[in-house]
């Protein structure tokens, strides 16, 4: 008697006490959907992660399979649920003063040579929960004054992380990497029911704005910038998406402006407009 053919491989997640699996075919549908929306290429190794992050939404809607959830988020009535799915699949880790050499370059090379009194604008183009934005704010406040002529825009595709970023309110354990003098100078420690947390000083938050922007879509009119940070997000894009995203952002740089990417990233073969200054730092001529 011939053996029955093996069914599709699956990753499992416990839902309502039952064992629910995501098949290769179901995972492939979500791979295509998140790529279409955000340009993010999920490798096959992310199947278990995807099943874990989306399982609670399957449970929330009392569905019996990931296929049913896919039909929900890909249909014409997806509404807010599609944004929830995007939030769950695009949240990335960040922390204050990550890749600190970039902030040293900003101080020593960019701000040191900036004409006095001129407005200075920065875009953190994949800001996640806001630590990069507020790191930039601390550096600019130190160099240009807390009431100086500078502004920062933080953007992300995820509304969930933008809500946290806009609040400027973090657990104390998130101070990892922050110089103690900045914690003292620009952060307010929580007391009583807010103990164990800190709030970014209002003087800095006055210079900051946040906006939901999908870098894989046509960009809104956000103005032009002296520096754009696009760090640690291109690793999730394929070459075509990288070229598209960088080309759009490069047009938002002022002449002589700098474009800064993550230490594991490069623009080699991606963009011919931006001139390399040093590894991971580029300039628009």
State pLDDT tens for residues 236-264.
999 999 999 999 999 999 999 999 999 99
Catalytic residues: 53, 156
pLDDT, tens digit, for every residue of 186-217?
999 999 999 999 999 999 999 999 999 999 99
Q: Quick one: pLDDT at residue 155?
A: 98
pLDDT of residue 176: 87
- What's the confidence (pLDDT) of residue 19? 57
**Which of 135, 146, 141 lies closest to 168, judged by CA?**
135
Mean pLDDT in residue range 95-124: 96
pLDDT band of 93, cuts 50, 70, 90: confident
Summarize pLDDT for 6-39 with one digit per residue, the tens. Answer: 344 445 444 443 457 899 999 999 999 999 999 9
**Region of poorest pLDDT, from 8-12, 95-99, 191-195, 227-231:** 8-12
Tell me, what's the pLDDT at 173? Answer: 93
Average pLDDT of the segment spanning 71-92: 90
CA distances from 119 to 116, 124, 141, 144, 149 (A): 9, 17, 13, 10, 5
Least confident of 75-89, 194-208, 225-239: 75-89
Q: Is 3.40.710.10 the CATH classification of the domain at 10-90?
A: no
Sign of CA dihedral 58, 25, 79, 218: positive
Q: What is the pLDDT of residue 77?
A: 82
Domain residue extents for the chain: 10-90, 101-283
pTM comes to 0.88
Q: What integer pLDDT is reported at residue 86 of this predicted model?
A: 94
Distance, CA of 128 to CA of 152 (rounded, Å): 14
Output 113 or 78, whichever has higher pLDDT. 113
Domains 10-90 and 101-283 equal at CATH topology level:
no
The size of the chain, in residues, is 285
pLDDT of residue 283: 98
What's the rounded Cα separation, in Å, for the pair 186 and 206? 13
Confidence at residue 185, expressed as pLDDT on a 0 to 100 scale: 97
pLDDT given for residue 240 in this prediction: 96
* Among 214, 227, 238, 222, residue whose Cα is nearest residue 260: 227
In the predicted model, what is the mean pLDDT of residues 218-225?
Answer: 97
pLDDT of residue 11: 54
At 224 the three-state DSSP class reads coil
Residue 58's pLDDT band, with cuts at 50, 70 and 90, is very high
Q: What is the pLDDT of residues 121-176, one digit of tens each?
A: 999 999 999 999 999 999 999 999 999 999 999 999 999 999 999 999 999 999 98
**What six digits make up the tokens of 99?**
């890749």
Q: Which residues of 104-143 are buried (b: 16+ CB within 10 A; e: fewer)?
A: ebbeeebbeeeeeeeebbbbbbbbbbbbbbbbbbbbbbbb
Q: How far apart are CA 86 and CA 88, in angstroms?
A: 5
CATH architecture of 101-283: 3-Layer(aba) Sandwich (3.40)
Q: What distance in Å separates the CA atoms of residue 68 and residue 71, rounded to the nearest whole number?
A: 5
């Amino acid at each position: 008697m011939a053996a029955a053919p093996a069914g599709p491989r699956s990753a499992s997640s416990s839902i309502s006490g039952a064992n629910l699996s995501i098949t290769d075919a179901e995972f492939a549908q979500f791979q295509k959907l998140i790529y279409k929306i955000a340009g993010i290429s999920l490798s096959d190794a992310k199947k278990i992660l995807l099943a874990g992050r989306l399982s609670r939404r399957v449970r929330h809607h009392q569905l019996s399979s990931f296929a049913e959830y896919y039909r929900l988020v890909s249909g014409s009535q997806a509404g807010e649920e599609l944004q929830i799915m995007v939030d769950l699949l695009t949240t990335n880790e960040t922390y204050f003063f990550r890749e600190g050499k970039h902030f040293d370059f900003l101080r020593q090379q960019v701000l040191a040579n900036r004409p006095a009194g001129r407005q200075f604008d920065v875009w953190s183009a994949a800001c996640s929960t806001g630590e990069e934005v507020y790191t930039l704010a601390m550096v600019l406040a130190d160099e240009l004054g807390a009431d100086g002529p500078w502004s920062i825009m933080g953007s992300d595709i995820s509304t969930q992380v933008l809500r946290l970023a806009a609040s400027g309110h973090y657990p104390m354990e998130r101070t990892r990497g922050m110089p103690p003098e900045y914690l003292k100078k620009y952060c307010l420690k929580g007391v009583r029911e807010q103990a164990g947390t800190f709030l970014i000083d209002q003087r800095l938050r006055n210079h900051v704005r946040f906006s939901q922007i999908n870098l894989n879509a046509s960009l809104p009119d956000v103005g032009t910038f002296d520096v754009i940070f696009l760090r640690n997000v291109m690793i999730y894009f394929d070459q075509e998406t990288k070229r598209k995203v960088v080309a759009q952002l490069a047009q938002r740089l002022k002449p002589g402006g700098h474009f800064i990417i993550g230490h594991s990233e490069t623009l080699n073969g991606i963009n011919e407009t931006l001139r390399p200054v040093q590894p991971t730092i580029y300039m628009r001529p």
